[in-house]
Structures are given as structure tokens and as C-alpha cells.
Amino acid sequence: MKTLICVGECMIELSETGQTVSGPGGASLMARTFGGDTLNTAVYAARALAGNGQVGYATGLGDDPFSDEMLAAWQAEGLSTDLVLRFPGRLPGLYAIKTDGAGERSFHYWRVNAPARDMFKHPEQDNWAEALGRADMLYFSGISLAILDEDGREGLLAIAEAVREAGGHTAFDTNHRPALWPDTETAKSWMERAFRACTIGLPSLEDAGALGFGSQPAAVAETCKSFGVEEIVVKDGAGPSLVAVPGQPDVLVDGQSVDRPTDTTAAGDSFNGAYLAHRLMGEDPVSAAAQGRAMAAWVVSHRGAIVPPKPAENPN
């Protein structure tokens, strides 16, 4: 059975329910769950695979009740948690989502001491890194890089290169969060290195423009090709996704869209999950991109990062 391992950070998530507290102030009621870009991708990949492959999540958590709840929930989604490093006395990070009338969201974080930042400092990190290098497909994002110190980033890129050199696939999404980086040039430098270590690039047009990788999908794809990326999907929100493979004509994949999204949280993450799952199962990039768009359309029709499964995905 082929394996996809996603590397990154999961945090406690607080999201608005659409209801308010009665009385003065009218504060929004918040629902508590969990989320993180690479964790979201792992969940949606596992759902898309439906047992036709194994998805593992590699991260750092504490030894607290919230961390225990996360592990139980991930296992219930079918994720392997063998690569979750536990840090005694630590707590996971936390973020809150505010959503405007158009469904666009803003994020607010409390994550400075999150254990995921120290994955490459854990006593078991050598064995952990070796296990990551055995993946058939490895996925990480700009956030995965941003939360690590320089030694950790070097370690993650070394693992990505090892997977690629062993004949596996490594996939990367820019998922740029400026607040996590000292400046744009630093972010751009590390993300260029990430693309050079990868076979699959999954940038968004918005991130690419902010980082100076191109302002049009075709230009972004050409930039990624120049870095040695073997297959690229440029996501443009509700617009068509551009699929580019060196030596072949670029293809625009339209597919499903949602006129009035409820919440765009995890739209790109869910696209990535379905895309990578279908590629792991051997589907071609264009077909996999269509599956990604269908998954994202379902997700943006619900609130929160991890939404109920599509009816066909529900084992019950």
C-alpha cells in the first residue's frame, strides 16, 4: 500500500458559528475544533483514498487533553499517527477564524510555543526523519517551513530531496503567511528551495504574485518549471486551475465552483488532499485536478476547516 505523509502543524481552531451571545456586546459564539493546512490536506486525502493508500501525519503535540483529542480524531479519520512526536508539558497552538459576509476569512494565531516548531529538536527526530524519507509521497507547505528555525527547514528540505532521489514524489504548496516570515525575500528564498526539492508544485496564484513568482497562471507554471518541478497545478480561487507538465500543453481545469461560498477556509488544502490522493492512486494530473476542485467545492459550502464527509465518503 502506497503512503502519503503530510508534515506540518495542527492547532486548536476556534471558528464563528454565526450565532451571537445574548446581551450587551453580542459577541460571536465560537466552535472549538482543530485545523492546520497540512492536517486538513491529510484528512481530505485519506477520505479521497478511501482505503486505497495510507496517509500519515507528522507533527509535534503536547501531552495535554487537547492533544489527546486531536490524535483520537485523526485516527478516526483513518490517519496514521505513528509520526506524531509528543512533547511533555507543551500545548498545541491555537487560532481563531473570523469570516466576512462574502465567506472570506482572516486568521488570528497564538502559536509561539507550539511543539510543532521543535519537531527537528525532539529526542527521536533521527528515527522520525528516516521514517519520513521512506514515504512514497511527502507533502509540506510554506507554513511547514515558516514555523521551523533554519536548522529545521534544512532538515525538512533534506528529507524532501531524499524522497525525490529515492523515486518518490514530494509535493509543496506555498501557502504564504507573511506574518510568519521576517520579510518577503526570506520567504521567497526558502520557497524557491522547496520547489527545487519537489516533483509536484501546488502554488496559489495569490501567493505566487505576492512572492514574485508570476502574476499569471502560465507565468507561475514557467517559474516552477525553471526550478525543476515536474508537475504544477496553479490554483486561482474559484477560477480555473492550470495544470502544467514540462513538454506538454498547459490545461485549464474548470469543474465545480460555488456561487456563494459559506467559508473558504481549507479550500486549497482540500484541493491538495484530493489531488494528491488521486495522483497516488495513479490518475493523471488533469483528472486529479478535477477531483480536487470537486472536493474544494464541497468544503467551501460548509463552515470550518474540516467539514463533514461528502455522502459518498461516509462509511455509514
**Model confidence pLDDT, tens digit, residues 113-161:** 999 999 999 999 999 999 999 999 999 999 999 999 999 999 999 999 9
Q: Which of 268, 269, 274, 264 is nearest to 304 (CA)?
A: 264
Catalytic, 173? Answer: no
C-alpha to C-alpha distance for 286 and 250, rounded to whole angstroms: 10
Confidence (pLDDT) at 315: 46
Active-site position among 136, 183, 269, 284: 269
- What residue ranges define each of the domains in the chain, with the CATH number in brackets? 3-9+36-90+115-308 (3.40.1190.20)
Residues (pLDDT < 70) of the chain are 23-26, 103, 256-257, 259, 304, 312-316
Q: Provide the pLDDT for residue 313.
A: 55
The three-state (H, E, C) secondary structure of 136-177, written as one string = CEEEEEHHHHHCCCHHHHHHHHHHHHHHHHCCCEEEEECCCC
* Contacting residues for 313 by C-beta, under 8 A, at least 6 apart: 47, 48, 50
Q: What pLDDT score does 316 carry? A: 44
The CA angle 151-155-157, to the nearest 5 degrees, is 120
